[in-house]
Amino acid sequence: MASPLATTSAPLTAVHLVTLGCARNEVDSEELAARLEDGGFRLVDDPEDADAVMVNTCGFVEAAKKDSVDTLLQAADLKGSGRTQAVVAVGCLAERYGSELAEALPEADAVLGFDDYADVAGRLQHILAGGRHETHVPRDRRTLLPLAPAARRAAARTTAIPGVPSTPVPAVPASPPLPLPDGVAPASGPRAFRRRLNGSPYAPLKIASGCDRRCAFCAIPAFRGAYVSRPPADVVAEARWLVEQGVREVMLVSENTSSYGKDLGDIRLLESLLTDLGAVDGLERVRVSYLQPAEMRPGLVEVMTSLPHVAPYFDLSFQHASPTVLRRMRRFGDPDAFLGLVESIRAAAPTAGIRSNVICGFPGETDADVAVLQDFLVAARLDVVGVFGYSDEDGTEAARLEGQIDPDQVEARRSAVSDLVEELVAQRAEERVGERVRVLVEEVGGEDGDETVGRAAHQGPEVDGSTTLPLGHAGAVGEFVDALVVASDGVDLVARPVA
């Protein structure tokens, strides 16, 4: 079926877009979708109905890279057996490895980098017509912008930064009304293209891109570039558009949200942005993600725990608790400082949600360091903890450090900490029995067809568990329901609506 944007009776070329990785990649996919649709393509849900399959890859850790390659190979299997003519890689893995990935994966017809996004429709048309795309040679994208954050705005106007446009983009043609949440974000001045790809009442909202930190284990800054904030007015305008598409909760995303505004001359700009978002009619909850513990400040904690529309939810990237390991990671902190931050949050909002990620098996880590981490986790009583085993990443300082740990030992430590975390987060969820929560309904019916599924304020999307309500006694998708927690199951909660 032709897209509503079609102006002729001829069917438009169909594209299936696959998104892997984090919420930031979800935003990038919606930008790509809008640019493709504006360029004359139509989006389809089934890859077997597509002339081209585009995979927005993740290049963060080894497991994510493998998943990206496997997905590209699965898409390539469709060629020759059906309608699919081309498979194209985009996203972080494509940007990070460029020509190397293209050479190693001939099954993909093209590997596009971030510099190709502005004309992604033209690139895809060229590829489908039998043209050859000249794959980029990877480069450190931090070198594309000035070292000084305040000097980046002018240079950013000529630099491709997915989700953070700095130059005007063409207006999106008007289209007939589409069922929510379909639609393309209007482009006015430096607004990003964006097309909703699902009907969720939640949406990620990118406020910045890139990172200036130099964590020894992380390669993201090299392929995502230096830190660039979006102007607050653009963020608020996009939030209004998202509400028009049926969104009731947004999660502010970036590589390092607590740095927002430093390149705009105001390191406390996040606090005022959160206040401004409260004026967006219909936006009932704002969630903040990717906070650096070393950059947390009392004013930010106060705003995040006092504004009624901001979820008291703290996504804090601790990574470890041993001061020795943290220094080798080129990070800051220790158990006392981290526990002090946790206590200050709970003093302001006792029911606040706090989640984190930790790495086990970093080079030089000892059994004593692991014990420090475990003791911290027991004392902190976090709601959710992602536990990862260390693996070398190309081009990172950690890959060159002495004290590399045998992979089997890394896995043993990861498994032990994971077992502890599973017990701790289940205990933390059980502590919430009897607590009143406000649940955003995201699904009616559930897996068994007899429940309503949503998330409370302390539960981030997809990774922090869910709250179930009895079917027939809760609201529709997109509504908020006040409820009382009556039971827990691991990190998940069971609640019943209250007046």
Please indicate if the annotation marks 218 as binding a ligand: yes
Q: How far apart are CA 72 and CA 61, in angstroms?
A: 17
Q: Indicate the angle between helix axes 298-306 and 269-277, nearest 10 degrees.
A: 10
- Phi, psi at residue 227, to the nearest 5°? -75, 130
Hey, what's the torsion of the CAs at 226, 17, 466, 386, to 10 degrees?
Answer: -40
Rg over alpha carbons for the chain, rounded to the nearest Å, is: 23
Q: Is 199 exposed, middle or buried (0-12, 13-18, 19+ CB in 10 A)?
A: middle
- E strands in 91-145: 110-111
Residues 6+ apart with CB under 8 A from 77: none
Q: How far apart are CA 364 and CA 424, in angstroms?
A: 26
Dihedral (CA of 231, 233, 236, 242) sign: negative
The number of C-alpha atoms within 13 Å of 225 and in the hemisphere containing its C-beta is 24
Q: How far apart are CA 331 and CA 350, in angstroms?
A: 28
Please indicate if the annotation marks 360 as binding a ligand: no
Tell me the C-alpha to C-alpha distance, in Å, between residue 166 and each of 153, 161, 187, 228: 8, 8, 12, 10
Q: How far apart are CA 78 and CA 84, in angstroms?
A: 6
- Phi, psi at residue 121, to the nearest 5°? -65, -45
End-to-end CA distance of the chain: 45
Hey, what's the torsion of the CAs at 183, 187, 188, 189, to 10 degrees?
Answer: 160
Residue 376: strand, helix, or coil: helix
Contact present, 164 and 230 (Cβ < 8 Å)? yes
Contact present, 354 and 330 (Cβ < 8 Å)? no
Residues 6+ apart with CB under 8 A from 143: none
For residue 54, the Cα-to-chain-centroid distance in whole angstroms is 19
Give me the residues paired with residue 498 across strands: none
Q: How far apart are CA 426 and CA 444, in angstroms?
A: 25
Residues of the binding site for [4Fe-4S] cluster: 22, 58, 92, 211, 215, 218
- Residue positions forming the annotated binding site: 22, 58, 92, 211, 215, 218
